[in-house]
Structure 1
Amino acid sequence: MTVTIYDVAREAGVSMATVSRVVNNNPNVKPQTRKKVFEAIERLGYRPNAVARGLASKKTTTVGVVIPDISNTMYSEVVRGIEDIANMYHYNMILCNSDKKKDKEIRVINTLLEKQVDGLLFMGGVVTDEHIEAFRTSVPIVLCATTDANRVIPSVDIDHEAAAYDAVKVLIEHGHRNIGMISGSLQDPSNGFARYQGYKRAIEEAGIPFRESHVRVGNYRYEAGLDTMEYFLQLPDRPTAIFAATDEMAIGAIHAIQDAGLRVPEDMAVISVDNVRMASMVRPQLSTVAQPMYDIGAVSMRLLTKLMKKEPVSNPVVVLPHETIMRKSVAHI
């Protein structure tokens, strides 16, 4: 049978109110009494009912986290940052995978809100009107590695357009003028469209004619890099350099170039954005613009704790800095 607070009180010879104070770390309990209660809890194997405590306090000390792809190492770094700060502030975490599908995202958001989470961290793609409608709740929401078009929802991210611009500028500074791009979905405002805009701005500022034929859309994954590179390799005037919107696609591109008997960076340079662990494991090591993924998660969770505790927030839209990491996949021509 389930052990109740009544059983603990009887075993320890105290009132149920005293047991409640001990369980909730109320300081107004004598050390000797506290010791008796803890001994009774240990003997009986009592576990406090978190649901009941949440109903009483109207707080569950739980946050919901919506992640687009749990198999993507980039997001695992974000979640590590979230969890570390959540633990620091004594919050539990419910993690849900959405596959970056709008219907599933909306369903997961509603499910987490029904679970009475105290706050919600959302990582996804396009923040639509349906998302904003789902976010209309008394529970604080923070967008993590995601932003809404009007920047009205609290968020933590980098400037994706600037990150892509900096990556392409590296290629230009190394003498490249025929630069292809493996893009993410142009309907995706950050990893897709913003990075495409950064590529285009860098090209045009350098006086290089912009060619739509030199932009191919991938799905962010390794296989997209492999498949897309086959297109670029068959062009009569093939690029001397490739900018990939993600490291995973860039690694696929490197392998496709090598499979064709060409060398990176001697025959074709490759650079990307993200800086996942695999970027330094591939050969040649991948030059990339690093997102501070752990920091994005940690800062997002800290911002959420402030909102949940109704602490003052000077800037609810946080843009963290990115950093160019030069390795071995780019060389002068």
Structure 2
Amino acid sequence: MTVTIYDVAREAGVSMATVSRVVNNNPNVKPQTRKKVFEAIERLGYRPNAVARGLASKKTTTVGVVIPDISNAIFAEVARGIEDIANMYHYNIILCNADKKKEKEIRVINTLLEKQVDGLLFMGGAVTDEHIQAFKTANVPIVLCATTDEQGTIPSVDIDHEAAAFDAVSSLIAQGHKSIAMISGTLQDPANGYARFQGYKRALETAGLAYDEELVRVGNYRYESGIEAMKYFLELNNKPTAVFAATDEMAIGAIHAIQDFGLKVPDDISVISVDNSRMASMVRPQLTTVAQPMYDIGAVSMRLLTKLMKKENVDQSKVVLPHELISRQSVIQA
């Protein structure tokens, strides 16, 4: 049979109100009484009913997190930052994978709101009108994590993706590269796709280099799409001397395609990307990349959400964290 608060109170010889105060860490309980209640809890194996406590307090101390691709190491690092800060502030996490599908994202958002979460973190991906509509029906705080909405009306934590791409491509240009291809993410994605594409174009324009549509292929962020895009570039009469990939995973696909073609990285073609996932230092040659502070993005997002949930003062609801170019062995001078 389920052990109730009444059973604990009887076992400890105190009132149910006293047991409730002990369970909820109320300081107004004598140490001797607190010890007696904890001993009774341990003997009986009592576990407080979180649902009942949530109904009484109208708080579940639970946060919903929508993650676009749980198999992607980048998002796993963000989730780790979220979890660490959530633990620090005594919140539990419900993590939901949405497979980068808008319909599933909307469904997951609504499901989490139905579960009475105290707040919601939406991680990655495009924020469409349908997302905005779902967010508007929520009566809890929402923070966008590693993405932003076009209007900038929803609190968010991210990097400047356009500037990150600009810095990556500019570093190639500084090494003397003039024919630079790009493996882009989908241009419907405002961050990893469109913003990084715009950064690529701006770097070319700033250096006085012509933009060539033939040197751009759109991938799906995955390793295989990096291979396919690179195969296309390798068949061109005038092969690029360098490739900028929007993600590490596509960049690694490009490196392997170059090597399979019988060419060398970086001797024949240099490769650079954005992310700085763990895979960037595992591939050979090690990948030069612009680092996103993924753990910090998760941690800062969760901290911002805790402030909003507790109705604390928030100085800045749109947080842009710094990025950093990490030079390794996949880029050399042209």
Q: Shorter-chain TM-score: which interval?
A: over 0.9
The aligned counterpart of 1:211 is 212
Counterpart of 1:73, as a letter, is A
- Within a 5 Å distance, the mapping from 1:64-103 to structure 2 comes to 64-103=64-103
SS of 1:135 mapped into structure 2: helix
TM-score normalised according to structure 1 size: 0.99
The aligned counterpart of 1:37 is 37
Cα RMSD over matched residues? 0.6
Q: How far apart are 1:36 and its partner, in Å?
A: 1.1
User: CA separation in 2, counterparts of 1:124 and 1:130?
Assistant: 15
Deviations 1:69-95 (A, max 9, x none): 000000011001001100000000000
The aligned counterpart of 1:248 is 249
Moved over 2 A (4+): none
- Within a 5 Å distance, the mapping from 1:263-302 to structure 2 comes to 263-302=264-303
Where does the alignment leave 5 or more consecutive residues of structure 2 unmatched? none
The number of residue pairs the alignment matches comes to 333
Deviations 1:261-304 (A, max 9, x none): 10111100000000000101101000000000000000000000
The aligned counterpart of 1:22 is 22
The aligned counterpart of 1:60 is 60
User: CA separation in 2, counterparts of 1:76 and 1:125?
Assistant: 15
SS of 1:146 mapped into structure 2: coil
The aligned counterpart of 2:9 is 9
Deviations 1:88-123 (A, max 9, x none): 000000000001111000000000001110000001
Where does the alignment leave 5 or more consecutive residues of structure 1 unmatched? none
User: CA separation in 1, counterparts of 2:25 and 2:190?
Assistant: 46
- Within a 5 Å distance, the mapping from 1:43-192 to structure 2 comes to 43-136=43-136, 137-192=138-193
Q: How far apart are 1:124 and its partner, in Å?
A: 3.0
User: CA separation in 2, counterparts of 1:35 and 1:176?
Assistant: 71
Counterpart of 1:80, as a letter, is R
The aligned counterpart of 1:307 is 308
The aligned counterpart of 1:257 is 258
The aligned counterpart of 2:329 is 328
Deviations 1:201-244 (A, max 9, x none): 11111111111111000000101111111100000011010000
User: CA separation in 2, counterparts of 1:48 and 1:100?
Assistant: 36
SS of 2:65 mapped into structure 1: strand
User: CA separation in 1, counterparts of 2:306 and 2:99?
Assistant: 26
Q: How far apart are 1:133 and its partner, in Å?
A: 1.0
